[in-house]
Amino acid sequence: MDPSADLVDSFKLEAKTLSDCTLQARYRSFTNLEIINKRFTQRVMQRWSKIKELGSDNSNEIWLEIEDDGFARAVKKLPKWTYQWNELEYRREIAASAVLSRYKQHFVQFYGWYEGPEDVYLAMKYFDLGDLEQYMDRQLSLLQIKLIIRQLLEGLCIMHRNGFTHRDLKPQNILVEKDNPYIWVKIGDFGITKRVPQDGTSLRTAIGSSGYMAPEVLGYHDEESSKYTNAVDLWSLGCICHRLLTMQPPFANPTKMMQYCYGGTKLPIEALRRDNDEDVAFVKMLLMVNPSERYTAERALQSTWFDSLRSQESLHGAQCQSQSQDELPCKIEAPNNNWAVAIVAAIVMAVVIAYVMAIVLGWCTHLQLLKIGIVALLILSFLLAALRSQPSSIGASAANSQYLMIFPEPKILMSYGGMLVFYITFGCFVCYKGIEP
């Protein structure tokens, strides 16, 4: 039995796809104040409207969906017919997304998956800044380039320790979370990611993207050319690093790469030399033809190439530390709920000021002030109870909790309304029908 089957099933969402939207079930829990310590679960349907297509890869489409309250997510469609030869292929991508999503600082957050009669859909975090490709032809600072490469190396370390090989690392599969003051990225698209057992088993399928495929994948390395390991990810990273440093790929065409792999030419380093020899040495170790001589992700992180970055961090650590905020999905035009807190604070201040003025000016007797204070406290307790009774997501869809509401559900609100009417009636009776001093 596949050990990842339970994990994949735990991320499955209750959803139905329509032509213009997706209807997804969500479960919320709440506490009813009338029954002490009793929690209830409510099933509600969320409507996610399809806004626009974000891109496509072969037969896979990716589009933007926005929920009625403004939260956004990206949805990737996997046609089932493309996996008929192996029904476990799409579950492999789901398993990789689920496992790596735990490391939110380095990988795209995965919310879950659902299926229709002909397709499987993967819901994930939406990045409005796009992917790294749009930054590849810009003249970035050396500090920024080192930050990007280190983030990718940290992600590859996690992948390789968990037995995953990405096999398609390229700028289009690296999403940009923020770009000011520094660019922070996350690794995504695990469509051809494969998990290899810890017994040293090699990969065989020649797969990847042109311009980033390692020599052993293409058969340019004559030592067991049909097999390769996670070292292919480091070659891809070397190509990315070269492009960031020089704004051009290391090999102009496949022929140039083949000549380099067979020893006909040396690694083109002319463009790199405009920076310094450390850049040349680092890129060389990532682009070694023999995978056994190539840097591993952990060894690359220890390279002296990052010494200047570590020195900068020791002086300006706050600016160079990742500020990932991936716990909540992206929200477009999210409403600001601070007004509710402001209202409660204003009520408290008004009550206090009125109380002080009443005492100073002698508007009321002390007993009347006490009665009014009791009513004010009862009303305030209702407001605080309403604010504290925010429903939260539970169950399988807890991983993609969307938001916390300020006010409770209508049925609960009606219950609170009844309590408020009772409090006001009781307070009025105490104040105006009570015994005067």
Average pLDDT for consecutive 10-residue bins of the chain (437 residues)? 73 90 84 58 88 78 91 90 66 86 91 90 92 92 94 95 90 92 89 52 52 85 64 94 92 88 80 76 92 94 92 68 50 51 68 67 63 67 57 36 38 52 56 47
Domain at 5-124, CATH class: alpha beta
Please report the pLDDT score of residue 389 as a whole number.
47
CA distance 47 to 51: 12
User: 408 vs 319, 348, 386, 411, CA distance in Å?
Assistant: 40, 22, 7, 8
Q: CB neighbours of 38 closer than 8 A, spacing ≥ 6? A: 31, 32
Cα-to-chain-centroid distance, residue 430: 54
Residues paired with 63 in a beta bridge: 53, 75
Query: What local confidence, expressed as pLDDT, does residue 377 receive?
Result: 67
Which pLDDT does position 357 carry in this prediction?
67
Q: Which long-range contacts (CB under 8 A, 24 or more apart) does 61-68 make?
A: 64/126, 65/21, 65/22, 65/123, 66/332, 67/402
CATH homologous superfamily of 132-320 equals Transferase(Phosphotransferase) domain 1 (1.10.510.10)
**Whether this model's pTM surpasses 0.75:** no
Do the beta carbons of residue 381 and residue 389 sit within 8 Å?
no
The DSSP annotation for 299-324 comes to HHHTSGGGHHHHHHHHHSHHHHS---
> Angle 7-13-16 (CA atoms, 0-180°, nearest 5)?
150
In angstroms, rounded to a whole number, what is the distance separating the alpha carbons of residues 375 and 423? Answer: 7
> Nearest CA to 172 among 57, 287, 330, 329?
57
| pLDDT (0 to 100) of residue 227 | 62
In eight-state DSSP terms, residue 74 is E
Provide the pLDDT for residue 153. Answer: 96
Contact (CB, 8 A) for 246 and 279: no
